[in-house]
Amino acid sequence: MSEQQQERTLFQRLSESSHPIALIFFLGIRISSLLAYLFGLLFTKNFILLFITVILLLAADFWNVKNISGRLLVGLRWWNETDQNGDSIWVFETADPNRYINPIDSKVFWILLYSTPALWIALAIFAVLKFEFLSLILVIIAISLTLTNTLAFSKCDKFGKANNIATDMFGRVSGGLLNRINPLNFLNR
């Protein structure tokens, strides 16, 4: 590595992002819930206010990751639907496989997506060891929200890769016949 690459600051790396505003909001909201939980009682002695603040930050993080950050940073989105029988169906959406995914966006997204539930689990262990059961309730809510996003995006990523592989294989096996008779191709001519 050259000296220029080693001397880049965090802000210089973030400026290389394809979606720097989405990345900053992703980092800010995700980290703020952890910081509020860890240091909130230093600023206020009111645990109820801290509880509500952390829940609101976790809800904002869940919504932001699910609907904005995942779509912009890694090209993935998921949601849950209920069919006519009342069964829950997970729906996964992946961006065009030819779309450029910025490596900085992708690394930050996946590292924070996987590390945050691990940090909350460690905080749950500390809450149990310190017999802080009210804090444990908050941490369990945080684990459930962050872990839901983590598992859903992991499934979405695997679905997208499997779907792209299946599409490529099917295209090779059919010899492009389906591409030639696809009505959308006639519209594009």
What integer pLDDT is reported at residue 7 of this predicted model? 65
User: Whose CA is closest to 113, among 161, 60, 65, 58?
Assistant: 65
Q: Which domain holds residue 31?
A: 3-187
Say whether 92 sits in a helix, a strand or coil: strand
| Helical segments of 7-98, H only | 10-15, 20-43, 47-64
pLDDT tens-digit readout, 60-115 = 999 999 999 999 999 999 888 888 888 888 888 888 777 888 888 999 999 999 99
pLDDT at residue 162 tops 70: no
Highest mean pLDDT out of 132-141, 160-169, 179-188: 132-141
Structural domains in the chain (count): 1
What integer pLDDT is reported at residue 161 of this predicted model? 62
What integer pLDDT is reported at residue 93 of this predicted model? 87
CA distances from 24 to 21, 44, 48, 85, 130 (A): 5, 26, 28, 41, 34
pLDDT at residue 173 tops 70: no
What integer pLDDT is reported at residue 171 of this predicted model? 46
The number of residues making up the chain comes to 189
Q: Are 14 and 24 in contact (CB under 8 A)?
A: yes
Q: Are 138 and 37 in contact (CB under 8 A)?
A: yes
CA distances from 160 to 69, 79, 89, 105, 186 (A): 17, 14, 17, 18, 27
Which burial class, exposed, middle or buried, applies to 72 when counting CB atoms under 10 A from its CB (0-12, 13-18, 19+)?
buried
